[in-house]
Amino acid sequence: MEEESFNTRYSLWIKEALDELPHNFTITDPFLSNHPIVFASLGFLKMTGYTLEEVIGRNGRAFQGPKTNRRSVLEIREAIRQERSIQLSLLNYSKSGSAFWILFHMVPVFGKDDGKVINFVAVQVPINGQEMIHRNVVDIGSCRREVFMHQERDLSVECDVQGLEDWEHCEASESEKLKAVEGINNVLSILTRYSELSGRLVCGKRCCLRGADCLSSSLVISLGRIKQSFVLTNPCLPDMPIVYASDAFLTLTGYKRQEVLGQNCRFLSGVDTDSSVLYEMKECILKGQSCTVQILNYSNRKDKSSFWNLLHISPVRNASGKTAYFVGVQVEASCRNTESQELRPETRQLSVVGAVRVAGSSSRPSSSSVESDEQGLEDWEHCEASESEKLKAVEGINNVLSILTRYSELSGRLVCGKRCCLRGADCLSSSLVISLGRIKQSFVLTNPCLPDMPIVYASDAFLTLTGYKRQEVLGQNCRFLSGVDTDSSVLYEMKECILKGQSCTVQILNYSNRKDKSSFWNLLHISPVRNASGKTAYFVGVQVEASCRNTESQELRPETRQLSVVGAVRVAVRSSFMVTY
């Protein structure tokens, strides 16, 4: 898979051209799970002692060890998340376990047509003058470092505090920095030239189309998982241009992506498009409201045909509540009032809106407000606290935790210094819990990988519906809601669908924990939630209280709300698998 992703972007002959370069470098693909290496130069293999088969598919963390500066690793991760270049000194380890200093210079490679990050190129220049002498500190130019004898050893290197401090102070020379820049330029030159042969151009600088802002890779990946026809527009830019268009939208309209990005959505209108509908849409956008209209649009297909577009527009807000984007979801329909026994268009549209909203909220990178120049940062990194200061910090933590624990006992809401998971329940990441907390419908998340498939998350609406407290729900199997009059055939149907990894919708009689211990009809939709590799990570169960499955109503159907929740949960879970270095 790793090599295939590299080959599809460039010409087949690119590997031979890259192998002729004398530099030590790797090329990684941030769109694949775990951000793996998809190409490694011969120089890099020789420097590390690994074979090509041992390197391809691995993450760059594989070459780090116990003395690698954690601060430097975090800086690399942040550069990847912000899609920018970085150059720093880094301590890596070869296959034999020997440590060596490199100048690590990494840059992103962008697609020329849409501005997306395609790859990251990392050139590694060995810092010269490293003599392998055991536990001797030597001065080499501006670099004081501890070096080791030529010997085979494992990665559990031990050294005293002074030795560790010496390892952290390695500085590359100006010639080594220039060599790294030269290597980057040479690799980018080849990538650019061979991408022209394949017709999928790349470049070393982000090329945004007119009027379009450039979305982060994490957001683009999340949006790419949504298979319906939709566009994302930015109201903060002049003329509110389209900044993302799904593949299904391009198929529906017949346009290419470069013809769409940067355009205002009115380019789909024509001579017979109703101007009153356009005015209605404009008013809703100005008010920051949602709206659903049927509008006559025109495609770019060979016959230049028009089509009725059942269009739903909805705002997507950022963490502060301000409108960051508008999402427009399109469903081709010959008539707005067409009745059908199939899933209604509104159902699919609201599902997409929920998925886009969670994708947008989950992709925002955290930023640091700390700014310093290069010399200041270098000085900050090498400040070492004394043992007494470390003990003082630990003592402070213990004292604060002791008071928090004692006073939480008085309120009955106990806290502790270690994470305490309820029986059978795994602990979800904070980012996933925050994303799921934004979904206001009644639902639970269960983990099929744990014994008895326990509930690992329950929404506030679910607790309100059933009358249970969260600690009474987490770790339980969902059958605790069943009772004497619950239909066993329905339970069997649900079990079969779960074993097959399929979705299902049933009406089941459940029992609440309210004062009257009443039962209620639960219109339940169960659906698998898959991780980035396609394996089922969770099952989501969405509940709607209903007195009868066949009740007809002019209001929004329960299935509409349920599929909207499923879409939002799926994007939240997939977005929680962060792209890492």
CB distance 177 to 102 below 8 Å: no
**Which carries the bigger pLDDT value, residue 552 or residue 229?**
229
Task: State the average pLDDT for the chain.
Answer: 78
**397 burial class (0-12, 13-18, 19+ CB within 10 angstroms)?**
exposed
**Beta bridge mates, 327:** 232, 314
Average pLDDT score over residue span 354-377: 52
217-335+344-361 and 430-575: identical CATH topology: yes
* 217-335+344-361 is a CATH 3.20.20.80 domain: no
**pLDDT tens digits, 384-441:** 788 878 788 887 887 788 788 777 777 777 777 765 655 544 577 777 888 888 888 8
**Residue whose pair of structure tokens reads 């990988």 in the numeric block:** 449
**500 burial class (0-12, 13-18, 19+ CB within 10 angstroms)?**
exposed
**pLDDT tens digits, 427-451:** 777 778 888 888 888 999 999 988 8
**pLDDT tens digits, 140-156:** 333 433 333 333 333 33
For 538-576, give the DSSP string: EEEEEEEE-S-TT---SS--HHHHHHHHHHHHHHHHHHT
Average pLDDT score over residue span 473-492: 90
Distance CA 539, CA 535 (A): 11
Q: What is the pLDDT of residue 21?
A: 93
**pLDDT tens digits, 531-540:** 767 788 899 9
Q: Which residues contact 191 (CB under 8 A, 6 or more apart)?
A: 10, 14, 109, 119, 121, 202
* Residue 211 pLDDT level (bands cut at 50, 70, 90): very low
Domain boundaries, the chain: 2-203, 217-335+344-361, 389-419, 430-575
pTM given for the model:
0.43
Q: Is the pLDDT score of 178 beyond 60? A: yes
Superfamily of domain 2-203 in CATH is PAS domain (3.30.450.20)
CB distance 3 to 190 below 8 Å: no
CB distance 307 to 297 below 8 Å: yes
Superfamily of domain 430-575 in CATH is PAS domain (3.30.450.20)
Q: Which residues contact 259 (CB under 8 A, 6 or more apart)?
A: 300
Q: Is the pLDDT score of 551 beyond 80? A: no
CB distance 336 to 313 below 8 Å: no
Coil/strand/helix, residue 295: strand
| Element housing 514 (H / E) | none
Coil/strand/helix, residue 428: coil
Q: What is the pLDDT of residue 149?
A: 34
